A and B are shown apart, each in its own frame.
Chain A
Amino acid sequence: MAHPSTYQPRSGAEKWLDERLPVARLMHDQFMTFPTPRNLNYWWTFGGILTFILVAQIVTGVVLAMHYIPAEDRAFDSIEHIMRDVNWGWLLRYSHAVGASMFFLAAYIHTFRGLYYGSYKAPREVLWILGVLILLLMIATAFMGYSLPWGQMSFWAVTVITNLFSSLDAIVPGLGTTLVQWIWGGFAVGGPTLNRLYSLHYLFPFIIAGVVVLHIWALHVPGNNNPAGIEVKSPKETVPFHPYYSIKDGFALLMFLLLFGVFLFFAPNLLGHADNYIPANPLQTPPHIVPEWYFLPFYAILRAVPDKLLGVIALVSSIVVLFFVPWLDTSKVRSTSYRPVYRWFFWAFVVTCIALGYLGSQAPEGWYLFFGRVFTIYYFAFFLVVMPVVGKFERPRRLPGSITEAVLGHAEQPRSRKREAVA
């Protein structure tokens, strides 16, 4: 949010730097005094949590890379070497592996928060689009990272997912096959594939970090949305980011780390798949090829469609559709709390995503397949039918006149203004 700079260089050196590269001024204005709506709830703490995990993933990843060997016949053993012989190697490796799960948990909560409170609506469309872009990059990064231990699940997940490109053969014969072999660097998934996946897995987090900077920039132009979904009307409705939100985000981060710790220290393999402790074997297909939990809803959508090419299109669309949400939703009201009809559809959508996650872990047969299809249809209908249509017909509840009213239950009285100035 545009606000006058309050930065005061405190020493000659700071003044000198400020005239040449005002980086301290930028930090001060954007992260210390940045005016933030005073009514943000704990769902707004996940952005900070995500930033923390991104940094943690990069730090643990860089150190792991010092010990990891991206070769077909050595990758698996080098991971075990890290777990057994490298000082604190088990902590590094489990932090990074469990961290990926926690990253997705936080990103999904963060995204659902955006959906619920209509944070994608004008003027925050670009902010939202950058968020979806981050999600796509995260998916690619996690997929490539999962291949690196070169266990059975790594190998077969790479095989299944890269083979999806061969569905393009249905459009231009030979195109898909050529593309897949180009990706593999050979005629099958093998050493060259592992090497390039490793290279890109190292690269992508830095691209994510770059997009996160843009994401926060795009956040700081319009400023935060808030649970009431109405614009900030006066500076009194905001508080400086520090200390109010730095401390609230800090507390939330600690609570999140406690959850992280439960998995990391007491069940580090619970979220993974046992088969990935079997070294990759191209001659033996595991009975069930299952992706990590955070991909299961998308996997269910892929398998709900009987045709391979259409399945791949559905898979890609299930994420790409998010880019269009700012224009699909026709309601003027941001926060779902004030939308009596839409909220039912919203919660049905949340249930749908969880159900698709469960169905993705089961073999696509019988009732599982049937419900996979039902929920896939609702998944898309939510975006393509519910969002445009409900917004047109729904009569939203009365919005509070201001954030102050939303917080206090009534408009502010003159008497209290003085108090707040003191606070």
Chain B
Amino acid sequence: MTRHVFLNLLGTFLLGFAAPDHAVGQDGHAPEIARQSWSFAPPFGTFDNAQLQRGYQVYRDVCGQCHSMRLLSYRNLGEPGGPEFSAKAVEALAAKSQITDGPDDKGQMFQRPGRPSDRFRSPYANEQAARSANKGALPPDLSVMAKARAGGPDYIYALLTGYRDAPPDMNLAPGMYYNEAFPGHQIAMPPLLQDGAVAYTDGTEKTLDNYARDVSAFLMWAAEPKLEERHKVGMRVMIFLLVFAVIMYLAKRTVWAPLHKHRDTQSS
């Protein structure tokens, strides 16, 4: 996408180097990650609430079976600049999960329906449980995943749509899947997203491509919940600085004019 190209060029120009390659596979080459166009691209981008709501649905129905998002609370789903579910909807979504609370007066832990102030319920009690349910592999927490991989949401989209048949000359380890985007191409996460896997209700086509796009956008919001505010404040600050700079430049010229006039009359 042009914005990335621009920023990379800017980086190259200013700092003398392009952003270094991060995701390098075992074969030493980073798989090429295609740029997607996102509604939240800088400098003006905002999240598409409906897309984030669908993305949450994908997370909840599919990814949430294995991946925790321990930094998010249900209340975040209703906050401005996010999926912006209504207060009622947030309460209902939270209440769908059973949360372990306690200890109570008798010293016992107990289960209760979730409240908006609760953190997202994690699918496994601890890392060992997560590994044992996933053939030894650990499904990483997804809270800041969209910032924790080079390419961010582009990478997550590429990963979710990157499952292919392994090339004949490659020996996949048992229980592993071939994925074009994953460094080293062998991933322990099964290809769960298929056309029709999640029941969208807003008329959006139930395709793998849409699921991948929506959940990637959702994860970007989860990682950067203040992105909209940042863009909005940023535009205002930039305009303020620009106007201030013009005024300052004119003031500077005025203050220096006598000295410069002096130079002109001298050289003429």
Interface residues of A (CB under 8 A from B): 38, 77, 80, 83-84, 90-91, 94, 105, 239, 243-244, 247-248, 250-251, 254-255, 257-259, 261-262, 264-271, 273-275, 277-278, 287-288, 290, 293, 296, 353-355, 357-358, 361-362, 407-410, 412-413, 416, 419-420, 422-423
Contacts and interface: CB of A to CB of B under 8 A. Distances in A.
A84 B69 CA distance: 14
B7 A275 contact: no
Interface in B212-253: 223, 225-226, 229-231, 233-235, 237-238, 241-242, 244-245, 248-249, 251-252
Interface of B: 7, 10-11, 14-17, 19-24, 42-43, 71, 76, 140, 143-144, 147-150, 152, 183, 223, 225-226, 229-231, 233-235, 237-238, 241-242, 244-245, 248-249, 251-252, 255-256, 258-259, 262-263, 265-267
Contacts of A288: 20, 22, 24
Nearest to A254: B245
Contacts of A420: 259, 262
23 contacts: A84-B226, A90-B229, A243-B255, A258-B238, A258-B241, A261-B241, A262-B238, A265-B234, A266-B231, A267-B42, A270-B19, A271-B11, A274-B23, A274-B147, A274-B152, A277-B144, A277-B147, A288-B24, A355-B16, A358-B16, A407-B263, A408-B267, A416-B266
A239 B256 CA distance: 10
B234 A354 contact: no
A409 B147 CA distance: 55
The prevalent SS among residues of A at the interface is helix
Contacts, number: 135
A287 B24 contact: yes
A248 B250 CA distance: 10
Given A247-B251, A269-B147, A416-B265, A296 B17 contact: yes
A353 B147 CA distance: 29
A26 to B, nearest CB: 24
Nearest to A264: B234
A135 to B, nearest CB: 17
Given A258-B241, A288-B22, A247 B266 contact: no
Given A261-B238, A274-B150, A409 B267 contact: yes
B238 A265 contact: yes
A270 B242 CA distance: 23
Contact of A361 (B7, B14, B20, B249): B20
B226 A90 contact: yes
A56 to B, nearest CB: 14
A254 B255 contact: no
Nearest to A84: B225
B143 A258 contact: no
A289 B68 CA distance: 27
B20 A266 contact: no
Contacts of A91: 230, 233
Given A80-B144, A277-B147, A293-B15, A257 B226 contact: no
Contacts of A105: 14-15
A-B pairs, 4 with minimum CB distance: A265-B234, A354-B16, A361-B20, A423-B258
Given A243-B255, A254-B248, 19 more contacts: A38-B259, A80-B71, A84-B71, A239-B259, A251-B248, A251-B251, A254-B241, A261-B234, A265-B230, A266-B42, A269-B147, A271-B15, A273-B22, A274-B149, A287-B24, A293-B17, A354-B16, A408-B266, A409-B267
A361 B17 contact: yes
B17 A357 contact: yes
B144 A261 contact: no
B143 A244 contact: no
B226 A265 contact: no
Given A251-B249, A361-B17, A362-B20, A270 B7 contact: yes
A408 B143 CA distance: 62
A187 to B, nearest CB: 24
Nearest to A273: B22
A407 B259 CA distance: 11
B220 to A, nearest CB: 12
Contacts of B76: 84
A152 to B, nearest CB: 9
B140 to A, nearest CB: 8
Contacts of A94: 230
